């Protein structure tokens, strides 16, 4: 396990970016968990297994996108940056089969970049935003997060881990509203997920560096997201 070095400003910024209170609307999305809970396909008893498998599948995939995006910052050729930036987001969109989850990811990605763009005057960030706006393209949250991590000179692995940590924190928080999951148990679940997060980050990072692909097989979760619009009452947008 490699060491992570932190420059104090970078650490504090990373903590803020990964905070669930970041005002981009992430708390409004369950990514299909609401359907699974309503249809009783997901219960508290299965939650540990579910979250570990979610991190193993979706987490590793998002980690690879996050890492790949991070590495785009080092490109000297701006045209190459634009080409690869667009291709990466198109690929992420094509791998998100459920419309609501895809839209959620794109909404959070756009808001995230806009938020950081308002805080930091960074040419690459401006280029990324302008490129997407010109082509009316989506930017996905994991990709936006990785790009910002690179621009702010946060450690690469730390960026990916922070992304994954905020991802599962959001899911557990959603579960607290959907299932009889108390605060202590929620905290315990998050505490015990650390090895899974690290494994997913390492797999994703390795795949990104080697140009390999990460697979993701979550049909039940995808169905939950695809069936979500038909729920009679919804707490979440997705």
Partner 1 sequence: MHLEFTHSAATSRTILSRCRQQMPLRVIRAFPVSHGGALVHLHNLSGGVLGGDDLSLMVNVGPAAYAQLTTTSATRLYRSHPQALPASQINNIHVNEDGLLEYLPDPLIPFAGSRYHQQTRIELAQGAGLFWWYVVAPCRVARDELFEYEMLHLDVDILALHRPILIERARLEPAQRKLNSPARLGAYRYFCNFYICRVGLESAQWARLEGDLSQVAQDLSRPGEVLWAVSTLPAHGLHVRALSCRSETISSGLYRFWHAARLALYGHEVLPPRKVY
Which residues sit at the interface with partner 1, rule CB under 8 A? 36, 39-42, 46, 49-50, 53-54, 56-57, 90-91, 93-95, 97-100, 102, 138, 213-223, 225-227, 229-230
> Tokens 């060491």 map to which residue?
3
Please, which residue, 120 or 213, has the CB nearer to partner 1? 213
Please, which residue, 56 or 165, has the CB nearer to partner 1? 56
Q: How far is the CB of 171 from partner 1 (least distance, A)?
A: 11
Please, which residue, 64 or 159, has the CB nearer to partner 1? 64
Please, which residue, 10 or 97, has the CB nearer to partner 1? 97
- What's the CA gap between 52 and 200, in Å, rounded? 10
Q: Within a 10 A sphere around the Cβ of 21, how many other Cβ atoms?
A: 8
Please, which residue, 96 or 111, has the CB nearer to partner 1? 96
CB 125 within 8 A of CB 117: yes
- What's the CA gap between 31 and 236, in Å, rounded? 9
Q: How far is the CB of 113 from partner 1 (least distance, A)?
A: 19
Q: Within a 10 A sphere around the Cβ of 207, how many other Cβ atoms?
A: 20
Q: How far is the CB of 81 from partner 1 (least distance, A)?
A: 19
Q: How far is the CB of 182 from partner 1 (least distance, A)?
A: 20
Q: How far is the CB of 148 from partner 1 (least distance, A)?
A: 23
- What's the CA gap between 145 and 62, in Å, rounded? 10
What phi-psi label fits residue 30: left (phi over 0), alpha (psi between -120 and 50 degrees) or beta? alpha
Phi then psi dihedrals of residue 41, to 5 deg: -85, -15
């Amino acid at each position: 396990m490699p060491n992570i070095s932190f420059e104090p400003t970078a650490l504090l910024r990373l903590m803020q970016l990964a905070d669930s209170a970041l005002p981009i609307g992430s708390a409004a999305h369950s990514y299909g968990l609401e359907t699974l809970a309503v249809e009783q396909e997901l219960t508290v008893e299965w939650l540990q297994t579910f979250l570990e498998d979610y991190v193993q599948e979706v987490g590793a995939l998002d980690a690879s996108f996050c890492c790949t995006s991070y590495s785009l910052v080092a490109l000297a050729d701006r045209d190459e940056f634009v080409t690869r930036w667009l291709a990466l987001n198109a690929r992420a969109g094509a791998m998100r089969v459920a419309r609501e989850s895809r839209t959620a990811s794109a909404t959070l990605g756009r808001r995230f970049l806009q938020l950081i763009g308002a805080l930091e005057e960074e040419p690459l960030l401006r280029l990324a935003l302008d490129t997407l706006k010109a082509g009316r393209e989506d930017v996905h949250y994991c990709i936006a997060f990785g790009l910002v991590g690179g621009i702010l000179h946060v450690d690469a692995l730390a960026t990916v881990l922070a992304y994954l940590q905020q991802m599962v924190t959001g899911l557990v928080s959603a579960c607290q509203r959907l299932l009889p999951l108390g605060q202590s148990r929620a905290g315990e679940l998050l505490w015990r997920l650390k090895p899974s997060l690290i494994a997913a980050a390492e797999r994703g990072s390795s795949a990104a560096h080697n140009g390999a692909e990460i697979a993701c097989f979550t049909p039940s979760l995808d169905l939950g997201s695809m069936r979500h619009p038909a729920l009679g009452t919804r707490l979440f947008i997705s």
